[in-house]
Amino acid sequence: MTEKKSFRSAFITVTVLFFLWGFITVLVDSLIPRLKDVFELSYFQAGLVQFAFFLAYLVISVPAGALLSRIGYQKGIIVGLVTMAVGCLLFYPAASERVFWIFLVAYFTLAGGITVLQVAANPYVSVLGSEDGASSRLNLSQAFNSLGTAIAPLIGASFLLSDTIKSSEEISVLTDVDRSSYYVSEAAAVQTPFLFIAAFIGLLALLFVFIKLPKILEKNPVGGYGKLLKNKIVMLGALGIFLYVGAEVAIGSYLVNYFMSMNISEIILQNESMKYLAENLLNTDLGTIDSKAIVGAFVVFYWSGAMVGRFVGAYLTRIMKPTKVLSIFAFLAIIMLLISMNTGGLTAMWSILAVGLFNSIMFPTIFALTIDGLGDLKPQASGLLCMAIVGGAVIPPAYGFLTDNVGFKVALLLIIACYGYIFIFGRIKSRTLK
């Protein structure tokens, strides 16, 4: 097999992983409204679920980068997949026992596995070809990541949000038999999808045991992290990843609650075309499901917009400077948020969903621009950048706190500030490339 064909096969195989962690990351977003109802949490407390998930990026990323430098990308991928499978299995006892801290442990474990995959797969794809095409390749792989994120809301709405959660007062008046039956059905809604996912991940891990990926790393660089911490672009890029992931996750996590606060479900039911669209998305009669599932189905457009944008972005970053594309997309995301802040109803809904389209190229483009020219330091740089994904643990609770105190729309100013920095990063990086 020629090197070019070997790289193409490796690219296709590793891109499957991008789909997988995109699907799972957004699927767990669907659990947040459910857990908020089950445990009767405030918006700030609900944001702590994402804190547990993204804390893993802070804790695991740097050790993962060091591990990859020693064992290589392929073995690192296997370690990540096995850890993810364990995390998925932990949702079974968490749902059975209805214990919040077990859910948090499951989230952290699952995210730990995803972190190892992120640290391995992103730089691996970037070096499977020329340096100039790194942004384009990473955007293409991330497009399949977005395919996973586009499918996940529908699965989440169907399995995790479709039934009505009873309050503690409602549960207290049930008979022992009815209470037991309710707990079993409530647990099964969470357990079933995650058991299937764990089985799929296990099979995928076996596949990576037997396939052979091209070896990219030549040596384990000494003092890599010390050098990277002195690199201005690496530090600016890490902050860009921190703010981007935080903004993207904050929007995605609170979309259902944001729409509920504007009574979007009632607007959908009163609008024949919107009602028809929702029924087709969920493949069910809207009268039989909870209002959260109705608005939750439309979250698919947020994540599918990112998928479309990444396919487009893979092309745009070939014909335009990636730095220019990044700044333009950040600016347009800000415009969409301003529209949503200052309107209501369907205009506010569709404008914030459109932010997903402009989110699309941000992570892969920031990532590729940051590790450009770092050679064998890329796994460790990837560790630092993936550590910055902890922004998903910090920004959503901060957004939730602001929402509790000033409302959803004013709180969007925090998200606008995040995209403002990304716009500036694109301009700064553009000057360094001249």
Percent share of the chain, pLDDT over 70:
84
Whole-angstrom distance, CA of residue 165 vs CA of residue 373 = 52
Cβ atoms within 10 Å, residue 180: 11
pLDDT tens for 380-403 read: 788 888 888 888 878 988 998 999
pLDDT surpasses 60 at 64 = yes
Which is more confidently placed, 153 or 61? Answer: 61
Q: Among the ranges 66-70, 89-93, 336-340, 360-364, which has the highest mean pLDDT value? A: 336-340
Complete DSSP assignment for 280-332: HHHTS-GGGS-HHHHHHTTHHHHHHHHHHHHHHHHHHHHHS-HHHHHHHHHHH
Contact in structure between 250 and 395 (CB atoms under 8 Å): yes
pLDDT surpasses 70 at 26 = yes
pLDDT surpasses 60 at 161 = no
Complete DSSP assignment for 195-256: HHHHHHHHHHHHHHHHS-PPP------TTHHHHHHT-HHHHHHHHHHHHHHHHHHHHHHHHH
pLDDT tens for 309-342 read: 888 888 888 888 889 999 999 999 999 999 999 9
> What was the pLDDT predicted at 371?
82
Q: What is the mean pLDDT of the chain?
A: 81
* Percent of the chain that is helix, strand, coil (3-state, to 5): 85, 0, 15
What average pLDDT does range 297-319 have in this prediction? 84
> What was the pLDDT predicted at 1?
47
Token code pair at residue 102: 């077990």
In the block, residue with structure tokens 């918006």: 43
Quickly state the pLDDT bin for 359 (edges 50, 70, 90).
very high
pTM over 0.85: no
pLDDT tens for 201-243 read: 888 888 888 877 666 655 555 556 678 888 888 899 999 999 9
